[in-house]
Structure 1
């Protein structure tokens, strides 16, 4: 009798390793919301010297997000023992064979070689850091997400909730009262890389120049790991494509298994 095939994992199991010395606690909410898009955070560890008052912000969030603090004393001034501890644990977790990917949360380029080593083993590496993160570390990850985006989204959500006060007929706002609504956090914007998108479409397009939008997004990330439509003021790649209708053409095709429609895009010059 033929043996049954092993069940396929529906979601990736991820190990989340946070460098507390190089990641602000203000990102924690947006961080785990973002990680949930890519898989399950099976392991959540954060590294630092917890005797230091500088990590006070993180201490308040550890229990809420079930993050395991890993104590690492600063043995010598000027030497970052935290990095070494995180790297050693990452290799230990790698050799268990239980994970599909790693989330490395830091703006420190010292983790560049770690990211490369994990990818050599066929695992997906998601990097999270500030826009000051050195390019070698950004490029070493399969995908890199800037934490400024996560903080802006979190603050915008909190602001909306705080000022979403239902109207009450019995207590109207007196005439002449000036209602002040604080502005939402400024989005982290950059110049849209139209040339990059154009090249990505050409690389995977069919004979008529059409590319599936989902495949296009994956190809762009392969070419530039920190590509993120939110950096350019959009929530979806399709919104960005529609905005640049002079360069790109978007087409809806037959319904998918979920009832939606597949989107295809091509460069207008290929028509």
Structure 2
């Protein structure tokens, strides 16, 4: 579980991420720990990256220059990977955040995890499954609310999927059913936080906001196939109902 004093290295592929999203990303990263290293990689001589200047300055992100020395070769990705390995070898970081939709970072994410360090990925819906699954947790950029949004719960609910559609979402219901069964105690009840953790181990991109719900408990209640109640001592618990088994 992430701790607020965990040190996090945030590495951003400017060629793959819009600067308009970076504020929301940094807000999300703050939940995982302290971003003691924040770097964004690109060839800053390219006009299309000019809009990154203000965003990088506002969020105190260090721009890392990498010229595109050869056409068709992504030198930026190579620079990010080399720096990530250098930072990993210091042993200082409990987590890495890789912000990109590029499958080139699949092996990097896997290698970092081999050292027992957590990897959080951020990218667009087009991000290849291989990279998403190589991360401990992967978050789609479009579900992140901007820091300026007054009510993030309301923002998340704007595009929520109705219960009738949720109940026929086979992969979603099956994943939750299996996780509840795996996390349940003798009385059949399972800690919802543990359920969410189990699902993400199988599906790193699992996030209730993908269906428009700010909290996992809201999503599970809306599905209507599980029994949900307060957990003794605090929190939420969930149980399979006869029709969900």
What number of residue pairs does the alignment pair up?
A: 232
Please point out which of 119, 122, 132 is paired with 2:116: 122
Cα distance in 2 for residues equivalent to 1:27 and 1:188 = 21
User: Do the aligned residues in 1 keep the contact of 2:20 with 2:55 (CA within 8 Å)?
Assistant: no
* C-alpha RMSD over aligned residues: 2.3
Alpha-carbon contact 2:156-2:209 (below 8 Å) kept? no
Q: What are the Cα deviations for residues 35-55 of structure 1, in whole angstroms up to 9, with x where unaligned?
A: 111111110000000111110
- Residue 62 of structure 1: SS of its match in structure 2? helix
Among candidates 11, 16, 19, match of residue 13 of structure 2: 19
Q: Does 1:197 align with 2:169?
A: no
Query: What TM-score comes out, normalization by structure 1 length?
Result: 0.80
Q: Does 1:88 align with 2:67?
A: no
Larger Rg, first or second structure (1 or 2): 1
TM-score by length of 2: 0.88
Distance 1:59 1:228 in 2: 31
- Match of residue 189 from structure 2: 210
The SS at the match of 1:125 is strand
Task: Determine if the alignment matches structure 1 residue 265 to structure 2 residue 238.
Answer: yes
Structure 1: state its 5+ residue gaps: 1-8, 161-182, 256-260
Shift in Å at residue 262 of structure 1?
A: 2.5
CA distance in 2, matches of 1:28, 1:86: 17
Q: Secondary structure at the match of 1:265?
A: strand
Residues 171-203 of structure 1 deviation map (CA, whole Å, 9 limit, x = unaligned): xxxxxxxxxxxx999638695511110111111
User: Which deviations, in whole Å up to 9, do the C-alpha atoms of 1:18-59 show, x marking residues without a partner?
Assistant: 000111111011010111111111100000001111101111
More helix by proportion, 1 or 2? 2
Runs of 4 or more above 3 Å deviation = 183-192
